[in-house]
């Protein structure tokens, strides 16, 4: 079901969003269980012809309930910090379905990963490899690894989320990675399991993955010639979703770029999708506080702000914005900026957007905010972080309580004797 209009009202999995807003209060994130599970099942089905582990990228949205739903469905998980690993274990992911990523793992995080015997750790540099081997030796453990290769390809996405360029901070230079594998093969506490590659986020050219995979397979064949065998090829994540009018590949068409290269090999495939699983699963529901006429334009001031959803300010990203209850639909509408109450001009959700003529008190739904929405939220301007809600079988459940003012100070301490 997901999000749909019924007789002029927006519903989530069969439940009136207006009802949820009245009882939970705004702003809040609202997630569709049906959309979440459908996206995951689409990946499973599309890649069912080969041995594939779908490792959901926790960074996109790490709410414990969302993680638990995916764990129950059989998903693996890609984590990039000790905190994400902690939540993954709490949510029920078996260690043998957890991959630890990241380019700056601390010694404490490496120890935590080794203690929990994860499927593998994706090594980002020769320096990290040596530290990992040292810690594994101290703990008398074998560290299962893949080495992240930087293939130097342009994913044609926002430069902040392009991770496979030569200038990127991630991975080992593709021209040097064979030497790093050779060194890894000589370390007593390292077990080589795979190779990892991640070229970026919000990628809408599915053919790019086929090109990258060909590079990686050629590299693994070269490794085999020097006696290093690879079990897993991890292509990372990054498949985009439609925020505006992008021509976005389906998960099925994405798989059609991958399967021909993998079908006759003995490699197991790992994918790390995040946005393409949770992006369309969530919306941010907000209420219009004021409609203000400025010098040259109108401003619709809502009760959500950039601390709740920073993507428009940070990436200049576009999110569709719809009325929760349609009215005045025959009116020409209003071209307006939709802004929040934070003391920054960067606090906006849309500029010069034509929307159905709004009224103060109306509810708006900011779509496609399930990924990197709440996950990137903050307490800027001392705003308590908003609630998260999930609709399951026509009923809503609060899966993260709204923060209180007390929550804002519960970790702070005024030193004794301070004048």
For residue 41, how many other CB atoms are within 10 A of its CB? Answer: 13
The sign one gets for the Cα dihedral 60, 66, 68, 70 is negative
Our CA angle for 30, 34, 37, nearest 5°, is 110
| 3-class DSSP assignment, residue 161 | helix
Q: What is the dihedral of CA 269, 275, 278, 281, to 10 degrees?
A: -140
Question: What's the Cα-to-Cα distance from 249 to each of 45, 254, 380, rounded to whole Å?
Answer: 16, 6, 36
| 3-class DSSP assignment, residue 35 | helix
Selection from 223, 212, 216 nearest residue 254 by Cα: 212
Residues near 270 by beta carbon (within 8 Å), at least 6 away in sequence: 52, 53, 55, 76, 99, 194, 196, 232, 233, 234, 235
SS (H, E, C) 59-70: HHCCCHHHHHHH
For residue 330, how many other CB atoms are within 10 A of its CB? Answer: 8
* Phi-psi sector, 394: left (phi>0), alpha (psi -120 to 50), beta: left
Gyration radius of the chain's alpha carbons: 23
Q: Where are the alpha helices (DSSP H) in 126-281?
A: 126-138, 177-185, 207-225, 251-262, 275-278
Selection from 110, 108, 61, 117 nearest residue 89 by Cα: 117
| 3-class DSSP assignment, residue 224 | helix
Residues catalogued as catalytic: 343
Query: Tokens 């990127």 — which residue?
Result: 168
Classify each residue of 354-367 as buried b or exposed e, where b means 16 or more C-beta atoms within 10 Å of its C-beta.
ebbbbeeebbbbbb
Residues near 342 by beta carbon (within 8 Å), at least 6 away in sequence: 305, 306, 307, 380, 381, 383
Selection from 381, 414, 363, 312 nearest residue 28 by Cα: 363
Classify each residue of 374-408 as buried b or exposed e, where b means 16 or more C-beta atoms within 10 Å of its C-beta.
bebbeeeeebebbbbbbbbeeebeebbebeeeeee
């Amino acid at each position: 079901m997901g999000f749909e209009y019924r007789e002029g009202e927006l519903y989530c999995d069969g439940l009136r969003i207006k009802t949820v807003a009245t009882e939970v209060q705004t702003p809040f994130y609202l997630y569709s269980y049906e959309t979440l599970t459908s996206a995951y099942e689409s990946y499973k089905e599309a890649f069912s012809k080969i041995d594939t582990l779908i490792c959901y990228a926790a960074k996109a949205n790490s709410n414990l309930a969302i993680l638990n739903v995916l764990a129950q469905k059989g998903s693996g998980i890609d984590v990039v910090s000790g905190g994400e690993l902690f939540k993954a274990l709490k949510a029920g992911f078996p260690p043998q379905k957890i991959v630890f990523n990241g380019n700056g793992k601390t010694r404490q995080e490496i120890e935590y990963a080794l203690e929990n015997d994860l499927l593998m750790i994706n090594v980002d540099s020769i320096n990290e490899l040596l530290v990992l081997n040292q810690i594994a030796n101290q703990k008398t453990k074998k560290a299962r690894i893949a080495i992240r290769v930087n293939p130097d390809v342009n994913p044609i996405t926002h430069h902040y989320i392009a991770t496979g360029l030569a200038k990127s901070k991630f991975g080992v230079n593709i021209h040097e990675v064979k030497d790093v594998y050779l060194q890894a093969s000589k370390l007593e506490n390292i077990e080589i399991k795979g190779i990892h590659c991640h070229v970026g986020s919000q990628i809408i050219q599915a053919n790019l993955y086929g090109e990258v995979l060909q590079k990686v397979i050629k590299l693994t064949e070269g490794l085999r010639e020097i006696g290093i065998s690879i079990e897993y090829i991890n292509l990372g994540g990054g498949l985009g979703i439609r925020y505006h009018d992008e021509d976005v590949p389906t998960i099925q068409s994405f798989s059609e770029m991958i399967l021909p290269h993998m079908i006759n090999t003995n490699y197991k495939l790992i994918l790390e999708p995040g946005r393409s699983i949770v992006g369309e699963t969530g919306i941010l529901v907000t209420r219009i506080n004021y409609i203000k006429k400025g010098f040259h334009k109108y401003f619709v001031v809502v009760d959500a702000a950039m601390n709740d959803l920073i993507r428009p300010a940070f990436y200049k990203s576009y999110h569709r914005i719809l009325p929760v209850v349609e009215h005045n639909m025959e009116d020409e509408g209003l071209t307006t900026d939709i802004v929040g109450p934070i003391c920054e001009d960067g606090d906006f959700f849309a500029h010069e957007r034509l929307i159905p003529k709004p009224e103060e008190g109306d509810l708006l739904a900011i779509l496609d905010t399930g990924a990197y929405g709440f996950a990137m939220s903050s307490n800027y301007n001392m705003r308590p972080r908003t609630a998260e809600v999930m609709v399951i079988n026509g009923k809503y459940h609060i899966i993260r309580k709204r923060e209180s003012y007390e929550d804002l100070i519960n970790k702070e301490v005024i030193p004794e004797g301070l004048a």
